[in-house]
Chains A and B, each alone.
Chain A
Amino acid sequence: MLKDRLPVNIAARTAPNLFDIAAIVCMLGLAVAVGTIARHTFGPLTAPNATTIHLDPSYLPGYAMRTTLRMFAALVFSLLFTFTYPVWAAKSRRAGVILVPVLDILQSIPILGFLTFTVTFFMNLFPGRVLGAELAAIFVIFTSQAWNMAFSMYQSLKTVPTDLEEVTRSFGLSSWQKFWRLEVPFAMPGLVWNTMMSMSGGWFMVVASETVSVGSTNVVLPGIGSYVGVAVAHRDIVAVLYAILTMLVVILLYDQLLFRPLVAWSARFRFETTQGAVAKDPWMLSLLRRTHLLNQTSRTFGDFLTRIGGLQIGRRPDAPRRPVLPPRIMDGVWIGILVAVVGLALWQVVLYAAGSLSLREVGHVALLGCYTMIRVVVMITLASMVWVPVGVWLGLRPAWARRAQPVAQFLAAFPANLFFPIFVVVIVHYSLNVNVWLTPLMILGTQWYILFNVIAGAAAFPADLLEVADNFRLGGWRWWVRVILPGIFPYYVTGGLTASGGAWNASILSEVASWGSTTLTAQGLGSYIAQATAAGATARVALGITMMAAFVIAFNRILWRPLYSFAQRRLTFA
């Protein structure tokens, strides 16, 4: 159960290696290239699209629809990515060597950082048309979804049980058949769970990506996010509340109609041979399973998929492999290509950085990174102090846990940035210290990951150990330190890691907040990136996101992964 829910990158690798660095260099090189080409080839950026957003609440359902569609369009691309990239990385040893670190770095990059490069790129791909802006927004959502879905897929492909793998080989299943009969089903529970988590992050990004200014390019796409943007510009708090209400309904629908049924359904692919406790089907799934017409439709659809999966495509295990060149030479060629690409990228990056960045700037940005890091640490600590006791209390009471768990998951999916204006109103009204009081915004949406993971941990805590504690009258401080905290620790680490990653991401939005013409700015790496993006300063954006990615990676590798492996070794019930 826990395995599916882990942030998949965590178990993978701990020690940074040469390929991580190569991956960073390659991506920076690509970013520079895309930015430069877009700037020089396509000439001056096009004029802003004149889209008018109406504050009348009757427009909201339409906007909500547009937002949701964007979300699902991105999901389609994420799924395409998930069924290609990680598969390639897992099947080809040579490709995996570079693809896996690239993925690892990609998921540490703050998502909004991609905006500068992609907005320019997509807008110029379709100048003067809304399509470019739409694609840019969808791409942002894609980046918030794809990486951890892909990682989940990769991890599953790498841990397929050997005996089942032997079955497919000894019965001569082709690679295509093996993929659909064994590998995809095996990956399914983890994939569904991670897709749900991805979608949660996606709502935050879809709202943020609908109003974006990169330099002189203003993107305004009709949707809930842009509605809130206009409401903020007009200081219309009632409109903000309407938007929040609409979003609540949308997420409730998406949760009830799509993901609850999906998660319950994916339980059938769980790789366990014993019949576990069977949870009640969510109402939507029961409906699908029991209604004759729906059942028939889904069965026909399922049959169709089964047939596709059974096609005899791909290499069969008894077909001889005929490599073009001996493996050693192939390895050599491959390494040569990698070195050349990395070298080229490095050369480009150095050339670009030397022209537009000073060492002082780098130092300054590193300092800003420290500010933001302090914010993240303080916020995670505060959130833990609040939500760990609450989560334990709820988790140990099954009746409460059952109700609280979905609520916490729901809250995690809710785009917290819709609430930002309300905070800003309060800060402006009471003239509070911006550097301090803007800080809680970054944890607003991600604290719930801590809560629902702790609830899950406490609910899974073995009852006999609790009875032992009761029997020996362990109470108060001792009970927390000796009994419950070690028990929920693996779950807490999972939640904490997700929450801290989310907080870094949110800092780009939360360190700059505005209300009408008033703009509040807290000092930090997030606001640095936000301002550089608004100014269209590509080099500074690149520096900012590289710095943030470096902080996130360091944070994960120095803090969370060791904690996690410690929890795995010492604090699991086996």
Chain B
Amino acid sequence: MDTLQDAPARPADGRAEELVRIRNCRQAYHKDSSVDLVVLDNVELTLHSGEIVGLLGRSGSGKSTLLRIVSGLLAPTSGEVSWRGKPLRGPAPGVAMVFQSFALFPWLTVQANVELGLEAKGVGRAERERLAEEAIELIGLGGYENAYPKELSGGMRQRVGLARGLVVHPDLLLMDEPFSALDVLTAENLRTDLIELWAEKRLPVKSLLIVTHNIEEAVLMCDRILVFSSNPGRVAHELKVPFAHPRNRHDFAFRQFVDRIYGLMTKRVQEPTQPDLAPDSAAQLAKKFQALPMLPTNLMAGLMETILAEPYRGRADLPLLATSLQLELDELLPLGETMQLLRFAELEEGDIRLTEAGTAFVLADLDQRKLILRDTLRVNIPLVADIRAVLDDRWNHRARAERFRDELEDHMSPDYARETLQTIIGWGRYAELFDYDEEADQFFLDEDDTPA
């Protein structure tokens, strides 16, 4: 215990030393076509000892990429990364990482997993065992030293992941969505324990950097929050959290702070109205090749029905809606945005409001709903209109999906391209605009849909 208590060299006088400094960082993946896929653009980040910093953003905003750049696992395409004043090359010795998937070695016991980092440093066996036992004890896993990871629950496994990171007494502990693979209660329990250790200065680290998409989690834990915007990833806002630990999430000020971040994260999505754009302008192209999240039509309909019904009556506060539906922001926001894209809803200042078309959709029966969706798709989703136009043109009413996928991939990562196409296929089938033959990877028109 002694060493652990001695270890945190957090200056009590508030004079913090600089650990990480990132300047003008850009990360892009080279594509076969001329356009590079930019994941991070012009990112600045400075980390000091004695603070917990949160990187908050939606999936795909590049925050995990930034975390890997900080850790030295990934070298940025351009920009400067310095660690304690020196340029960073390769994994820095004073940085440890905790993974979303826990990333434990299933063939090693808890003890051996925790010792791994010490072994790499060449620490002697006796010392290794002592340090590992300390870390295991600290993180509340005493007695589990000889268990294998598969014998443990998710929460216990992440504790092992934490102990493995802490045992090397890193200056900086990086946490990549550490609680998002856990159920709500377990996550809360682990967060509380971690913050308690931090507040009591018993964690042998100088600083924590946490990647998360959970706004409440960020406000609960962090001293400073960097809010990311997507496409390309940028630090859109930086906020200082003015509360002392332990924080109460039911506090009025706390709720207000959370609401404010919701507002910030939904504000950006306002887009220029259609007529302003010249056809084939850059903005028009960007709109055509916008990444679409998986949005099954059932889910969309269910959500719209909920918003129209009591108590929301057509307008819902996003944090409230998220809590009552047990959805995370990361799940709810893309839904809202996509509904906005379809002109079924509007997002305004942390609220979602159904439009006339959206209300009409909810009140319609199945056949009418198909018609409404068909109309809005052809008008508002250029890619859908494009596919249908190509199909109408062909004598056999078939077209390779690959070509559309390739076009999409020029504007997004292959994973997003696949997801977007899948969403479009789902919509096309629901609206009976076109069908898709998975085996042949082709779009086609069903007999009934073929124009006369």
Interchain CA distance A111-B95 in the complex, whole Å: 52
Contact B90 A320 (CB under 8 A): yes
Please tell me if A406 contacts chain B, counting CB pairs below 8 Å: no
Binds B, one of A58-66, A94-102, A169-177: A169-177
Question: How many of chain B's residues touch chain A, expressed as a range?
Answer: 20 to 34
Please state if A170 and B122 are interface contacts (CB–CB under 8 Å). Answer: no
Whether A167 touches B106, Cβ cut-off 8 Å, given contacts A174-B120, A320-B89, is: no
Cβ of B321 to closest chain A Cβ, rounded Å: 32
B119 lies within 8 A of chain A by Cβ:
yes
Contact A310 B119 (CB under 8 A): yes
Binds B, one of A217-225, A269-277, A535-543: A269-277
Q: Which residues of B contact A268 (CB under 8 A)?
A: 106-107, 148
Which chain B positions have C-beta within 8 A of A168? 116, 120
Binds B, one of A25-33, A311-319, A392-400: A311-319
**Interface flag for A182 (CB, 8 Å):** yes
Check A171 against B116 for contact (C-beta < 8 Å). yes
Kindly state whether residue B72 has any CB partner on chain A within 8 Å: yes
In angstroms, Cα B68 to Cα A167, docked, is 11
In the complex, what distance in Å separates the CA atom of A272 from the CA atom of B104? 11
Residues of chain A lying within 8 A (CB to CB) of residue B168: 171
B54 within 8 A of A: no
Chain A stretch 165-213: residues in CB contact (< 8 A) with chain B: 166-174, 177, 181-182, 185, 188
How many A-B residue pairs lie within 8 Å, measured between CB atoms? 85
Is B121 located at the chain interface by the 8 A CB criterion?
yes
Q: Which residue of B lies closest to A185 (CB)?
A: B107
> Are A169 and B99 closer than 8 Å at their CB atoms?
no
Write the nearest CB–CB distance from B235 to chain A, whole angstroms.
Answer: 23
- Would you call B116 and A173 a contact (CB within 8 A)? yes
Residues of B within 8 A of A181 (CB): 105, 108, 116, 119
Tell me the A242-286 residues at the B interface (CB within 8 Å).
268-275
Distance in Å from the Cβ of B159 to the closest Cβ of chain A? 15
One of B72, B99, B101, B103 near A318 (C-beta < 8 A): B72
The reply to whether the CB of B97 lies closer than 8 angstroms to some CB of chain A is yes
Roughly how many angstroms separate A185 CA and B108 CA in the complex, as a whole number? Answer: 10
Question: Which of B95, B117, B122, B150 contacts A274, CB < 8 Å?
Answer: B150
CB distance from B262 to the nearest CB of A (A): 31
A185–B149 CA distance with the chains assembled, in angstroms: 15
Query: A319 and B105: CB pair below 8 A?
Result: no
Q: Please determine whether A166 and B107 come into contact, CB atoms closer than 8 angstroms.
A: no
Q: Which of B145-172 contact A (CB under 8 A)?
A: 148-151, 157, 168
Is A317 a contact of B90 with CB atoms below 8 Å? yes
Q: Is the CB of B150 within 8 A of A273?
A: yes
Q: Are B90 and A167 in contact (CB under 8 A)?
A: no
Q: A268-B107, A319-B90 are in contact. Are A172 and B97 (CB under 8 A)?
A: no
- A222 CB to closest chain B CB (Å) equals 42
Kindly state the separation between the CA atoms of A268 and B97 in the bound complex, as whole angstroms: 25
Report which of A167, A269, A270 forms a contact with B97, defined as CB distance below 8 A.
Answer: A167
Cβ-defined contact, B105 with A164, below 8 A: yes
Residue of chain A at shortest CB distance from B161: A167
Does B93 interact with chain A (Cβ within 8 Å)?
Answer: yes
- With a CB–CB cut-off of 8 A, which chain A residues contact B106? 268-273
- B73 on the interface (CB 8 Å rule)? yes
Task: Verify if A56 is at the interface (C-beta below 8 Å from B).
Answer: no
Whole-angstrom distance between the alpha carbons of A167 and B150 in the complex? 18
At the interface, yes or no: B199 with Cβ under 8 Å from chain A?
Answer: no
Q: Determine which residue in B96, B99, B105, B157 has the highest number of CB atoms from chain A within 10 A of its CB, and name it.
A: B105
Chain A's nearest CB lies how many Å from the CB of B89?
A: 6
Residues of A within 8 A of B91 (CB): 169-172, 317-318
Q: Are B73 and A166 in contact (CB under 8 A)?
A: yes
The interface residues of chain B lying within 8 Å CB-to-CB of A188 are 107
Which residue of chain B is the closest to A177 with respect to CB atoms?
B120
B64-120 at interface with A (beta carbon < 8 Å): 68, 71-73, 89-93, 95-97, 99, 101-108, 116-117, 119-120
Smallest CB separation, A11 vs chain B (Å):
20
Q: Which of B89, B93, B104 contacts A172 (CB 8 A)?
A: B93
Bound: A188/B71 CA distance, A = 30
| A73 to B145 Cα, complex, angstroms | 39
Q: How many Å lie between the Cα of A188 and that of B106 in the bound state?
A: 12
In the assembled complex, how far is the CB of residue A275 from the closest CB belonging to chain B, in whole angstroms?
5
Q: Which residues of B contact A161 (CB under 8 A)?
A: 103
When chains A and B are docked, how far (Å) is the Cα of A172 from the Cα of B119? Answer: 9
- Docked complex Cα distance between A274 and B154 (Å): 10
**Cβ-closest chain B residue relative to A276:** B150
Given contacts A170-B95, A320-B90, 12 further A-B contacts (CB under 8 A): A164-B103, A169-B91, A170-B73, A170-B97, A171-B116, A171-B168, A173-B120, A181-B105, A268-B107, A272-B106, A275-B150, A275-B151
Q: 7 closest Cβ contacts across the A-B interface?
A: A318-B90, A163-B103, A171-B117, A173-B120, A185-B107, A269-B107, A170-B97
23 contacting pairs across A/B (C-beta < 8 A) = A163-B103, A164-B103, A166-B97, A167-B97, A167-B99, A169-B73, A169-B91, A170-B73, A170-B95, A172-B91, A172-B93, A172-B121, A177-B120, A181-B108, A181-B119, A268-B107, A272-B150, A273-B102, A312-B120, A312-B122, A318-B72, A318-B92, A319-B90
